[in-house]
Structure 1
Amino acid sequence: MQEEEARQGFTPEMIDMMASIWTRSIITLIDVRFQNVASQYPLEQYKMPSSMFIYAYGGEAQIQLNETTFAMERFGLIHGGKGSLLSITPKGEIVETFMVFYRAESPLFFKKHLQQLLEQVNPFVQQFGYTPSNPILLRDWFQRMMNGWKRGKAMDQLQAKSFFYHLIHEVYRDLEGGEIRYLQPDPACSAKKYLDKHYREPIMFQQIADMFGISGGQLTRLFKKREGMNLQEYLIQRRIEAACHDLKHTEATVKEIATGAGFADEKNLFRMFKKHYKMTPSDYRKINALSMQVDGIDNDSQLNYDERELASLVKSYRDGESIMFGSLRSKEMILAAAISMMMLLTACTSGTPANNGGTVNTTPAQTQQTTQQEGAETGASEAVSQTRTITTVKGDVEVPNNPQRVVVDYLVGDVVALGVTPLGVARAARGEMEPVYANQITDSVKVAMEPEDIMTLEPDLIILAWSDESYDDLSKIAPTIYVPYGDMTTEERIHFISDVLNKQEEAKAVLNAYNGKIEESKLAFQNAGLSDVKITVGEFSDKSNYIAGAKHAVGELVYNELQLQAPPKVQTDIIDADKYWGDVSMEVLPAYSGDYMIFLGDGNVAADNAVWNSIPAVQHDRIVKVDSSLSWSTDVMTSSALIDYIVSQLLALAK
């Protein structure tokens, strides 16, 4: 997409206009340089003092102009305007570069005309990069240009300027020919630089992907291939590194550090610390305070700070163990070492040395402030550490006692019924359909269930039911519970989700009301003489018909919960065969049709369809139409509303 946009920016008309500007402008060569850029000493964030052409060759490299990173394979010609930030990072050992600095001015008698042209396009500040059609010729011109410039004589510098004009002509001839390959931005590298710069801010990964005209999933794949981790893992790592630095080197509170590092709140920081380093931020601060004091006593042993101190100071190693100071130690050993250090320091400072002529006093205000801060941090740590273990089909998952930031993909109605308003809901739950719980989720964020999107919400719990394909990625963001809703009854599912949300009492009330409605409905059917009628549930149209079985959301409700009967063919061919639904042609549809038909969705059958019109339920207008808002989900709120609707419609038709 970027290449197509670049081609559109260099149409024959635009190139002719830019050539006219070059012809009418006064060009002053400022300098011509040659530089070897080594991989261990890359050129970083060089602010260009003038407009520049950069010709690089000799191997692969990443060339960055401002926020855009270009991937160069063997040769690359880059142009940028004054003030642009230039970085060159070789992928191999070295990349050779020529740099031409120039300034363009307009003569007085051409000023008005040139100004009109420059308002349309300014070639002196344009940013572009491409692989030249004749790289060897360009290299020769750059070399001869530099040789003439360095000799310093007027005739030699005049020759250098002539080669510069040869260069401009060759560049525009390449652009006009359209056969060149534009240097494409490197999305993974640019995304990394963007995260390094903006990690303290709220991040929307799709917005980064939009810069390159690719999908969020494609950006994630490119980034993971390059960095060995996905976007949210890298973002978490950067934020934790920032928090670690602040914990070691500032007196800020944990809440202030969490906010400053980009976390939604201190609870999120606590959870990430416990997950990655098996300790709380306060514990990390205390341990590092002790190690710094010990370093002060023994100056022969120092820990070097390399801006990634956690990589060497503390690493998670199996469950419940840490690598600290380069050695493997258990939690008990860490605690014992910390206590020993504290006792040693206390012994060193508790006595009054003979030569000590004074004492250090702590004011009551300082003592109170310290106590309050430690108390607040301890309270927060205890609140976050209050978790429960839930056994799931994916294994045991540790969840917070009272989750506050819940994201749900499918069973939103179950969560809402239990008294929890989700922070985020899947787009399917808030798309064009108007769910029955719409008023309860007006403040919920509509989100795609992609890790990059969910990451921005900083959830403390994710409930996944629609598909488990993204379970592994989502579980790296927050505790994730997979609900195999198709294998659970409504009662089993509500009890399970209530255990996850710690809403057991609410679950009893919800199920009592739901089961009471089921019993009332069955009694109403019995009184209306509908207990023995045959019901067909499906989606119908002239082209295809899908007959629901008992595994279908509506089929389960009709056949299993309301205990209405299916026609014999539906029972044997679909329900007994344990099918979600069966694909039935219009010609054989009458054999699957019952006394009443529950018509799902927005399909339509032609008014003159002879087979459809021959079905008794159609002839006697015993059709119950159910729109998508009531038939797409099995959650308890939608099911409850669907029961009310089906019962009222069937009773009305029975009269």
Structure 2
Amino acid sequence: MRERGLMQEEAEASQVFTPEMIDTMARIWTRSIITLIDVRFQNIASQYPLEQYKMPSSMFIYACGGEAQIQLNETTFGMERFGLVHGGKGSLLSISPKREIVKTFMVFYKAESPLFFKKHLQQLLEQVNPFVQQFGYTPSNPILLLDWFQQMLNDWNRGKAMDQLQAKSFLYQLIHGVYRDFEGGEIRYLQPIPASSAKIYLDKHYREPIMFQDIAAMFGISGGQLTRLFKKKEGMSLQEYLIQRRIEAACHDLKYTEATIKEIATGSGFADEKNLFRMFKKYYKMTPSDYRKINALSMQVDGIDNDSHLHYNERELANLVKSYRDGESSMFGQVRSKEMIFVAAMSLMLLLTACTSGTPANNRGTVNPPAETQQTTQPEVPETKASEAVSQTRTISTVKGDVEVPNNPQRVVVDYLVGDVVALGVTPLGVARATRGETEAVYSNQIKDSINIKMEPEDVMTLEPDLIILAWGEENYEDLSKISPTIYVPYGDMTTEERIHFIGDVLNKPEEAEAVLNTYANKIEEAKLALQNAGLSDVTITMGEFSDKINAIAGAKHAVGELIYNELQMQAPSKVQTDIIDADKYWGEISMEVLAAYMGDYLISLGDTEVPADNAVWKSLPAVQHNRIVTVGSSLSWSTDIMTSSALIDHIVNQLLALAK
């Protein structure tokens, strides 16, 4: 968690420095002893990038002349033509030009506290430490800064005391110019590159539990957006890359340590021994134990002569992932030839074992039972659909890549968007996250025979599904996709129309999807007409969760906000529009003291929290005084499927019409 917190801080390089922060930092610079250690210049070419340079002191780095990626620790920034970056001692710096040579100035300095200011400075440094602060931005006057850095370099290289004093004066001019830029607020901060930063994070933390949504949150984007950006850049999903890194670690430990399979699984980042076993079966077509035996034999054969041998990474992992066909990624290079090598090696090992032990060799070390004693249990499939379901498939393009699904799935498991599936005429075999109360009542009759399960691979496996539709637990995607075709729906990044068409394609129900959307569109138009006839089309609406201290005001990204502001096209108060909706926020946290400025003619109270009825500010609100409050329970306010949205429209519109009378 500490490492994740550090990365969160680094990803916030686009922060806005407040006047108070700037004043504090200026005081610290003024009262500190600054030693200019060195000034350097280097042309960095794309074929010879600067990689993982450990900064020996605090540094200003000024890069100019071309597009480049600048990496500080675990955060990668994108620079177009000019970029000024600052980092503290021990930070890892990388600069990778895209095409042209990038000119790079580096200023090394050290800061110390004088004895008579030490206590006071320490108090200020606890608020903000400008000497270790990490940031990157494009200066407001990049040519002026280029001139300063060039003069600083020239003066420093002359080597005379007066010249180096002049160089130090340019350092102070630089610091003053940077803080003036911050103060003006018209600068463009270098934005972190999510895909590159996520890869760096996974490389460092792959042995730990990983939540992709947490990584995405560091950059203020959704998990689906991060997945698409990562796949576009790396040619594979986040999950695939994470598994690759963990398998690399497991392979190394299997070859070069005496650790148990369980210890290796845990040490490599896998949830348990079974998970490691499944990964090896999928990618190596054998168990971890078999892999260990084969490589032990291979190492013995290699040891017969005295020739030099390739390092592990050169022989085993140099081409772990290769792109083929239309960008599809294959792990471990040419799988077919690899399998042939493994089979040959296994045969040799077993032959040697048979020769030395005198016992019959068996691929699994067990004796197969007579044919008449073997029984195979097949899942029941309705006879009228069996041949069609097994023999016919379609390919669906998703954010996780192309997925082959049954033409007419019979055993569908859904985790969140149950109402979408039911609306298209499909009764799920299993459902998860089906809430009680209002939401379940929307489609309770349709799912009364569905099995309610946790969306864990072990539970899903017991249902033997032929299709899984996943919208919530993205971290389970890889494990679930090994059970049956799994479709991930990034519902937060899709409109209702896009989502229904997509799920309609998955279920082979395009006509049903069109009919459902037409019905939904008609409902919205009827609701808008009813509101207009009641004189409510121009009123302002505020929605949120209200309490005595902090009020969470919902924007248009919230499920109810999307419906009210975008679909029913009702108006938001000007403060809600500018501070929350235009800022593309899901919520805006507002204190009770300023709540009145965000209030509309009507309130929609979301969730099951109690409205602060005895609060003086609350009681002074016109909407409260005139009882213009619509309540929406959490079971309706947190759901986004089309059946629940339809019920939500009826619920809100009926209450608004009743209040208007």
Residue 60 (structure 1) aligned with residue 67 (structure 2): yes
Using the alignment, how far apart are the partners of 2:26 and 2:112 within structure 1? Answer: 15
Using the alignment, how far apart are the partners of 1:350 and 1:543 within structure 2? Answer: 82
Using the alignment, how far apart are the partners of 1:137 and 1:541 within structure 2? Answer: 58
Whether the 8 Å contact between 1:2 and 1:184 is mirrored in structure 2 is: no
Alignment of 1:119-518 (within 5 A): 119-300=126-307, 302-306=309-313, 309-310=316-317, 329=337, 335-336=343-344, 338-340=346-348, 343=351, 391=390, 394=393, 408=415, 425=432, 427=433, 433=439, 449=471, 452-455=474-477, 461=483, 484=507
Whether the 8 Å contact between 1:231 and 1:452 is mirrored in structure 2 is: no
Change beyond 3 A, Cα 1:288–1:84: same
Whether the 8 Å contact between 2:87 and 2:133 is mirrored in structure 1 is: yes
After superposition, the C-alpha distances for 1:496-548 in whole angstroms (9 at most, x for unaligned) are xxxxxxxxxxxxxxxxxxxxxxxxxxxxxxxxxxxxxxxxxx99998499xxx
Whether the 8 Å contact between 1:407 and 1:461 is mirrored in structure 2 is: no
Deviation at 1:89, TM superposition (A): 3.2
Using the alignment, how far apart are the partners of 1:325 and 1:273 within structure 2? Answer: 15
After superposition, the C-alpha distances for 1:105-128 in whole angstroms (9 at most, x for unaligned) are 344555565455444433223221
Whether the 8 Å contact between 1:246 and 1:252 is mirrored in structure 2 is: yes
Using the alignment, how far apart are the partners of 2:112 and 2:487 within structure 1? Answer: 65
Q: Report the 3-state secondary structure (helix = DSSP H, G, I; strand = E; otherwise coil) of the residue aligned with 2:207.
A: coil
Alignment of 1:11-50 (within 5 A): 11-39=18-46, 42-50=49-57
Q: Report the 3-state secondary structure (helix = DSSP H, G, I; strand = E; otherwise coil) of the residue aligned with 2:312.
A: coil
Change beyond 3 A, Cα 1:158–1:469: closer
Given residue 343 of structure 2, which amino acid in structure 1 is its aligned partner?
A: L
Given residue 222 of structure 2, which amino acid in structure 1 is its aligned partner?
A: S
Whether the 8 Å contact between 1:35 and 1:97 is mirrored in structure 2 is: yes
* CA RMSD after TM alignment: 5.6
Whether the 8 Å contact between 1:409 and 1:465 is mirrored in structure 2 is: no
Using the alignment, how far apart are the partners of 1:137 and 1:301 within structure 2? Answer: 56
Change beyond 3 A, Cα 1:302–1:308: closer
After superposition, the C-alpha distances for 1:154-176 in whole angstroms (9 at most, x for unaligned) are 11111111111121122222222
Using the alignment, how far apart are the partners of 1:431 and 1:233 within structure 2? Answer: 38
Using the alignment, how far apart are the partners of 2:509 and 2:305 within structure 1? Answer: 63
Task: Identify the range of structure 1 (83-92 vs 5-14) with the bigger mean alpha-carbon deviation.
Answer: 5-14
Using the alignment, how far apart are the partners of 1:91 and 1:17 within structure 2? Answer: 37
Using the alignment, how far apart are the partners of 1:323 and 1:2 within structure 2? Answer: 33
Given residue 140 of structure 2, which amino acid in structure 1 is its aligned partner?
A: S
Using the alignment, how far apart are the partners of 2:243 and 2:207 within structure 1? Answer: 10
Change beyond 3 A, Cα 1:189–1:431: farther
Given residue 240 of structure 1, which amino acid in structure 2 is its aligned partner?
A: I
Task: Identify the range of structure 1 (439-448 vs 256-265) with the bigger mean alpha-carbon deviation.
Answer: 439-448
Given residue 214 of structure 1, which amino acid in structure 2 is its aligned partner?
A: I
Task: Identify the range of structure 1 (442-451 vs 212-221) with the bigger mean alpha-carbon deviation.
Answer: 442-451
Using the alignment, how far apart are the partners of 1:335 and 1:43 within structure 2? Answer: 43
User: Where does structure 1 lack aligned partners over 5 or more consecutive residues?
Assistant: 352-370, 379-384, 400-405, 415-419, 471-481, 488-537, 546-626, 634-655
Change beyond 3 A, Cα 1:483–1:57: closer
Change beyond 3 A, Cα 1:542–1:71: closer
Given residue 218 of structure 2, which amino acid in structure 1 is its aligned partner?
A: M
Deviation at 1:220, TM superposition (A): 1.1
Given residue 296 of structure 2, which amino acid in structure 1 is its aligned partner?
A: A
Change beyond 3 A, Cα 1:331–1:66: closer
Whether the 8 Å contact between 1:463 and 1:483 is mirrored in structure 2 is: no
Whether the 8 Å contact between 1:36 and 1:94 is mirrored in structure 2 is: yes
Whether the 8 Å contact between 2:265 and 2:271 is mirrored in structure 1 is: yes
Whether the 8 Å contact between 1:421 and 1:441 is mirrored in structure 2 is: yes
After superposition, the C-alpha distances for 1:305-342 in whole angstroms (9 at most, x for unaligned) are 22671565999999xxx999989659678535543465
Whether the 8 Å contact between 1:130 and 1:180 is mirrored in structure 2 is: yes
After superposition, the C-alpha distances for 1:116-150 in whole angstroms (9 at most, x for unaligned) are 54444332232211112333332232232223223
Whether the 8 Å contact between 1:410 and 1:466 is mirrored in structure 2 is: no
Deviation at 1:79, TM superposition (A): 1.1
Given residue 207 of structure 1, which amino acid in structure 2 is its aligned partner?
A: D
Whether the 8 Å contact between 2:66 and 2:81 is mirrored in structure 1 is: yes
Whether the 8 Å contact between 1:408 and 1:463 is mirrored in structure 2 is: no
Given residue 265 of structure 1, which amino acid in structure 2 is its aligned partner?
A: D
Q: Report the 3-state secondary structure (helix = DSSP H, G, I; strand = E; otherwise coil) of the residue aligned with 1:63.
A: strand
Given residue 439 of structure 2, which amino acid in structure 1 is its aligned partner?
A: M
Whether the 8 Å contact between 1:48 and 1:86 is mirrored in structure 2 is: yes
Aligned to 1:69: 76
Change beyond 3 A, Cα 1:54–1:375: farther
After superposition, the C-alpha distances for 1:351-407 in whole angstroms (9 at most, x for unaligned) are 9xxxxxxxxxxxxxxxxxxx9xx979x9xxxxxx999898275379999xxxxxx97
Whether the 8 Å contact between 1:42 and 1:88 is mirrored in structure 2 is: yes
Given residue 453 of structure 1, which amino acid in structure 2 is its aligned partner?
A: E
Percent identity, aligned pairs only, is 67
Using the alignment, how far apart are the partners of 2:104 and 2:79 within structure 1? Answer: 12
Deviation at 1:242, TM superposition (A): 1.8
Change beyond 3 A, Cα 1:327–1:229: closer
Given residue 145 of structure 2, which amino acid in structure 1 is its aligned partner?
A: L
TM-score (structure 2 length as normaliser): 0.55
Given residue 243 of structure 1, which amino acid in structure 2 is its aligned partner?
A: A
Q: Report the 3-state secondary structure (helix = DSSP H, G, I; strand = E; otherwise coil) of the residue aligned with 1:433.
A: helix
Equivalenced residue count is 454
Aligned to 1:103: 110
Whether the 8 Å contact between 1:64 and 1:70 is mirrored in structure 2 is: yes
Given residue 433 of structure 1, which amino acid in structure 2 is its aligned partner?
A: T
Determine which structure has more spread, i.e. the larger CA radius of gyration. Answer: 1
User: Where does structure 2 lack aligned partners over 5 or more consecutive residues?
Assistant: 1-7, 369-375, 380-385, 396-403, 407-412, 423-428, 458-468, 493-504, 511-521, 530-634, 642-661
Aligned to 2:462: none
Whether the 8 Å contact between 1:29 and 1:101 is mirrored in structure 2 is: yes
Q: Report the 3-state secondary structure (helix = DSSP H, G, I; strand = E; otherwise coil) of the residue aligned with 1:88.
A: strand
Using the alignment, how far apart are the partners of 1:306 and 1:465 within structure 2? Answer: 34
Using the alignment, how far apart are the partners of 2:484 and 2:436 within structure 1? Answer: 17
Change beyond 3 A, Cα 1:27–1:204: same
Whether the 8 Å contact between 1:316 and 1:323 is mirrored in structure 2 is: no
Whether the 8 Å contact between 2:66 and 2:82 is mirrored in structure 1 is: yes
TM-score (structure 1 length as normaliser): 0.55
Change beyond 3 A, Cα 1:107–1:260: closer
Change beyond 3 A, Cα 1:105–1:407: same
Whether the 8 Å contact between 1:130 and 1:181 is mirrored in structure 2 is: yes
Change beyond 3 A, Cα 1:317–1:341: farther
Using the alignment, how far apart are the partners of 1:483 and 1:295 within structure 2? Answer: 51
Task: Identify the range of structure 1 (3-12 vs 96-105) with the bigger mean alpha-carbon deviation.
Answer: 3-12
Using the alignment, how far apart are the partners of 2:51 and 2:177 within structure 1? Answer: 29
